[in-house]
Amino acid sequence: MTQESPKTDLASPTDKVGRTGLIYAISAYVLWGFLPIYFIALAPAGAPEIVSWRILFSLVFCAILLSITKAWRGFFALARQPRISLTMALAGVLILVNWTVYVYAAMTGQVVEAALGYFINPIVTVFLGVIVLRERLRPLQWAAVGISIVAVLVLAFGHGSFPWIALALAFSFGFYGLIKKRVGGQVDAVSGLTLETAWLTPVAVVALIVVSATGGITLGTVSVWHTVLLAAAGVITAVPLLFFAAASRRLPLIYMGFIQYFAPFIQFLVGVVLLHEAMPPERWVGFSLVWVALAVLTIDMARSARSARRASVESA
C-alpha cells in the first residue's frame, strides 16, 4: 500500500500498529468471555472463597512478575505516594464488588445477566462522564443512554426481576475504569493490580477465616484438578489484564471500543447455548434494545474518530 492510498476514515489498524495490538486485545476479551466456565469448574467452592483466593494468588503472581521484571523500585515509589495508594485502594474495593458479583452470577446460573452488565458498561461509562466529569454528550450519545435506560426498565418490569447483577457489574467496572483513567499515566498494569490486591489481602484473609469456620475451605480437599484451578486464579486474573494493557498502548481507542464487545457476546453465548439459561421474549426485547444502544454508540464513536482525523489532517 502506498503512502497516498489510505484515504479511508478508518484505516486498517495493521497498517498503523501491526497485528500485535489486535492479538493482545482479542486475547484479553476472549479470555474474559470464557471466565464463567472457569468459575463454574471451581464448584463446590463458593463465591467468597473463590474471590479470596483470586485476590491472594493474584498478589503472588504480580509479585513474581515484579521480581522477574525488576520493577519493585517503581512499585514502591508508587506505593509511597498517598494519593495514588489510596486511589488504588478505592479501585480495589470496586474490583472486589465486581469480582464477587460476577463469580456469584456464574455460580448461580445467571451468566446472561452478567453479560448484560458488560454490554451496558460502555453506556454506563458515557453516563458517568456526564455525572462525574461534567462532560457534554453528543446527541447520539444521549440517544444511546436513553435507549439503554428503556432496556433496563423492560428487563426489570417485563422479566419480573430487577437486573441488579447487570447494573452492579456495569457501575462497579464503570467507576473502576474511571479511577484507572485518572491514574493511568502513572500506574502500569502490574503495579496497579499489585496495589489493589495488596489492599484487599486483609479482606481476603478474613473471608477465608469465616469460610473455614462455616462451610469449610475447599482448596486441597476436592481433587488435584480443583486445587490446580483454584491456584491458577492469579494467572487467570492477571494475564487478560496484561494483554489489555499491552493492547491499549498499541491500538487506537476506536478499535478497543469495537473489540470490547467480544467478552459479553461470548458470555451471552455461554449462558444461552452452553448453560441453557432462559431467554423469554421480554428478555430478548431488553437485550435487543441494549444492542441498538450499542450500535448507536458505536456509530457516534466512529463519526467522532473520523472528524478528529479529518481535523488533524487539515491542521497538518
Which tens digit of pLDDT belongs to each residue from 88-122? 999 999 999 999 999 999 999 999 999 999 988 88
pTM: 0.84
Grid cell of 190 as nine digits: 502490574
Distance CA 122, CA 128 (A): 10
Give the single-character DSSP code of 135: P
CA-to-CA dists, residue 193 to 149, 229, 305, angstroms = 32, 20, 30
Could you tell me which residues come within 8 angstroms of residue 46 by beta carbon, excluding any fewer than 6 positions away? 107, 211, 215
CA-to-CA dists, residue 158 to 112, 146, 163, 232, 276, angstroms = 16, 18, 11, 40, 20
Distance CA 118, CA 263 (A): 8
CA proximity to 63, closest of 187, 200, 194, 192: 194
pLDDT for residue 41 is more than 70: yes
In the block, residue with C-alpha cell 437485550: 287
Residue-level pLDDT at 51: 95
Residue-level pLDDT at 316: 59
Is residue 57 within 8 Å of residue 127, measured between CB atoms?
no
To the nearest 10°, the Cα dihedral for 89, 95, 97, 101?
-170
Residue-level pLDDT at 2: 41
Residue-level pLDDT at 184: 65
What is the CB neighbour count within 10 angstroms for residue 77? 12
CA-to-CA dists, residue 142 to 130, 148, 178, angstroms = 10, 10, 19
pLDDT for residue 291 is more than 60: yes
Tally DSSP H helices, then E strands, for the chain.
15, 0
What is the CB neighbour count within 10 angstroms for residue 129? 17
- Measure the N-to-C terminal CA separation of the chain; round to a whole number of Å: 22
How buried is residue 42: exposed, middle or buried, by Cβ count under 10 Å (0-12/13-18/19+)? buried
The segment with the largest mean pLDDT, out of 23-27, 167-171, 299-303, is: 167-171
pLDDT tens digits for 109-166?
999 999 999 988 888 888 787 787 777 778 888 888 888 889 888 888 776 778 899 9
